[in-house]
Amino acid sequence: MVGRFVGMEIDPDGPDFADGVGELANMISGGAKARFAAERNVSISCPSVVMGPNHRVIQQKDLPVVELPIQSECGEILIVLAIQEVETATNRAAG
């Protein structure tokens, strides 16, 4: 998928591969942010890229998490979103 994105072969063990995955994640999260913008003030953090088997991702226990498994002709991807709602002055005034 990264190779298709950049238009050339990318070695999965090379230094540019994780950067390409991160950039795809930025595009996906930016698109999601734009869809929420009409209803909520949304900010996003930089994505974390985790690759390979036998890994653990530690998340805050008090945040809701949404997992989006994606199966494509390029392979499997799992997008994990941790959502934290922050109260702002506008939220408090709306009540």
Give the tens place of pLDDT for each residue, 24-42. Answer: 888 888 888 888 777 877 7
How does DSSP classify residue 3?
H
Confidence of residue 5 (pLDDT cuts 50, 70, 90): confident
Please give the biggest Cα pair distance in the chain: 52
- Compute the half-sphere exposure of residue 3: CA atoms within 13 Å on the CB side of its CA: 9
Whole-model pTM?
Answer: 0.69
Q: What is the pLDDT of residues 64-75, one digit of tens each?
A: 888 889 898 888
Q: What span, in angstroms and rounded, lies between the C-alpha atoms of 7 and 81? A: 28
Based on the structure, what is the number of domains in the chain? Answer: 1
Mark residue 7 as left, alpha or beta (left: phi above 0; alpha: psi -120 to 50; beta: remaining). Answer: left
Instruction: Provide the percentage of residues in the chain whose pLDDT is more than 90.
Output: 2
pLDDT of 49 higher than 80 = yes
Residue 41 sits in which domain range? 2-94
Chain CA centroid to CA 66, Å: 11
Give residue 88's pLDDT: 67
